[in-house]
Amino acid sequence: MEIWQTDSGMNSIAQEPPQTEVTAGTRQLLEGRQLPGFVAVEGPIGVGKTTLANKLAQTFGYPLLREPAAENPFLDRFYREGRRHALPTQLFFLLHRARQMADIRGGDLLGRTLVADFLMEKDELFARLTLDDAEFALYRQIQQSLAIEAPQPDLVIYLQAPTSVLLQRIRQRGIEFEQEISAEYLSTLINAYTEFFHFYNDAPLLVVNATEIDFAHNPGHFDALLAQILSMDGPRQYFNPHPQLI
C-alpha cells in the first residue's frame, strides 16, 4: 500500500515555534555566527525531519512552515481505502503547497527567516510514486498551470535512516493510520529520496545519517549537528556521527 509522508502538526502556515530553553552549549555555538536564512529539512517518514525542523526553528527563533498533511481531507480515505484516493490526495498537497509558496512571497517571510519541514520539489517525488501514468500526466498539467515560484533554501538538510529504523520509529510513535506502512513501501521511498538527492544541486546540501542520533532528547546530539550546520562550506557535506562519540 502506498502511503504519503505525514505530520502530526496543526496549521501548516508559517508560525512561531513553541519557545523552549536553549542550552548553554547551544548558545555558545550560536554566538557570533551567521545563520542560514531559509532552512529546509527533508527525509522519509519516521526519520525525524519534523522534530528537527521544530528544534531548529526554536533554536534560531525562526517561523516554522510545516507540511499540510493534517489538513488534507482525502488522506484518511487513502489510508482506509487505498489507491483510488491517490489523485485527490496528491492534488490537495500540490494546491496547498502552491498557496504556501504564494504566502511566503506575499508576506515577505524570506525577508526575515524560515525553517520548513519540506521541499516544494518533494511533491512531484511523491506524485511519481503514488499516481499511475494518466493521473501523473494530469497532475503535471495542473502543476505547470500553477507556475509555482518556490524560493530556494539557503540550506537543505537531508536525513537518512534504514528501513528497519523507520519502521521502529513509526511503530513507537503509534499514529494509527501510519501502522499500515510496509517495509516494502519504505524501501521504495528511501530509494526515491536517494536518487533525488544524488542529483540535487539547487542549494547547499547537508546529508545526515540519523540512524542512531536523537535530536529531540539529547542536547549533545543536536549540538553536534548544529556545529556541522554552522560550519557548512561548499555545495554538499556529510554528517555521519556515532552516538558514543558525540
Contact present, 147 and 32 (Cβ < 8 Å): no
Question: Residue holding cell 536517494?
Answer: 194
Contact present, 220 and 24 (Cβ < 8 Å): no
DSSP string spanning 44-77? STTSSHHHHHHHHHHHHT--EE---GGG-TTHHH
Which burial class, exposed, middle or buried, applies to 80 when counting CB atoms under 10 A from its CB (0-12, 13-18, 19+)?
Answer: exposed
Catalytic residue set: 117
For residues 86 and 81, give the distance between their C-alpha atoms in angstroms, rounded to a whole number: 10
Contact present, 37 and 114 (Cβ < 8 Å): yes
